[in-house]
């Protein structure tokens, strides 16, 4: 691409074909105008076009937008712009074409390794939804508070173990919940 932009002004429709540079260039030819793609975009099906060329084609048949090469469905928001290093020059006279769609980028996920060991780093909490709302609420709070003091993290089975080991505590909370519900009724 860099070679192409340097050679740009001197290039005419007829150049020495078959030279190695020519062969290289042809890989990056727009499938519509057959020139080296300007403001290059690539479709999801992998076909390369100048954005102005593709835009014109999409405009030609707005109701049936297909890839000129493979006839896959295609649309303006599903093309990917290609940003090469030498492609910053903006001297294209075809200025009535809407700007090339931007690339879509997402931040890489900040993943702390194996998910099973990720409890400590980002506020893990598990809510335990058995029965009525107050009960679930209280249990989950308990779970949260408990997690730093008494038990080292062991993995995903933790929430379960809690019920088995502390039937007494559970009973207390069940009563608290029952009283809370009664209170709701009477209040």
Partner 1 sequence: MQSLKAGHLDASRWERRLQKELMSLMKEPPPGVEVDGDQAEQNLSLWTVHMKGAEGTLYEGESFQLQFKFSPKYPFDSPEVTFIGSNIPVHPHVYSNGHICLSILTDDWSPALSVQSVCLSIVSMLSSCKEKKRPPDNSFYVKTCNKNPKKTKWWYHDDSV
What residues make contact with partner 1 under the rule CB under 8 A?
13-14, 17, 31-35, 47, 52-53, 56-57, 59-60, 66, 68-69, 71, 93-94, 96-97
Helix (H, G, I), strand (E, B) or coil at 48: strand
**For residues 73 and 78, what is the distance between their CA atoms, to the nearest angstrom?**
10
The smaller minimum CB distance to partner 1, of residues 71 and 154, is found at 71
- The residue written with tokens 């088995």 in the block is 164
Q: 141 with 127: CB under 8 angstroms?
A: no
| Shorter beta-carbon distance to partner 1: residue 32 or 41 | 32
Q: Which one, of 152, 28, 133, 30, lies nearest residue 86 by Cα?
A: 28
Q: In the complex with partner 1, which residue's Cβ is closer, 96 or 105?
A: 96
Contact 78, 66 (CB under 8 A): no
> Shortest approach of partner 1 to residue 97 CB, angstroms?
7
Closest separation in Å from C-beta 38 to partner 1: 10
Residue 22 CA to chain centroid, in angstroms?
37
Q: Write down the least CB distance from residue 92 to partner 1, Å.
A: 10
Identity of the residue, 12 or 106, whose beta carbon is nearer to partner 1 in the bound complex: 12
CB of 42 to partner 1, least distance (A): 14
């Amino acid at each position: 691409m860099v070679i192409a932009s340097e050679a740009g002004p001197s290039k005419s429709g007829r150049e020495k074909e078959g030279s190695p540079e020519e062969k290289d260039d042809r890989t990056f030819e727009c499938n519509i105008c057959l020139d080296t793609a300007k403001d290059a975009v690539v479709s999801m099906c992998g076909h390369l076009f100048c954005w102005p060329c593709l835009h014109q084609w999409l405009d030609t048949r707005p109701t049936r937008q297909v890839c000129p090469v493979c006839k896959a469905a295609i649309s303006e928001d599903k093309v990917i712009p290609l940003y090469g290093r030498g492609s910053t020059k903006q001297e294209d006279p075809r200025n009535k074409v809407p700007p090339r769609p931007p690339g879509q980028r997402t931040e890489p996920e900040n993943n702390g390794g194996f998910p099973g060991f990720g409890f400590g780093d980002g506020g893990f909490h598990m809510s335990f939804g058995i029965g009525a709302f107050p009960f679930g609420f209280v249990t989950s709070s308990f779970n949260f508070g408990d997690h730093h003091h008494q038990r080292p993290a062991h993995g995903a089975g933790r929430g379960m173990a809690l019920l088995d080991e502390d039937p007494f505590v559970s009973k207390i909370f069940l009563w608290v919940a029952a009283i809370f519900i009664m209170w709701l009724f009477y209040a």
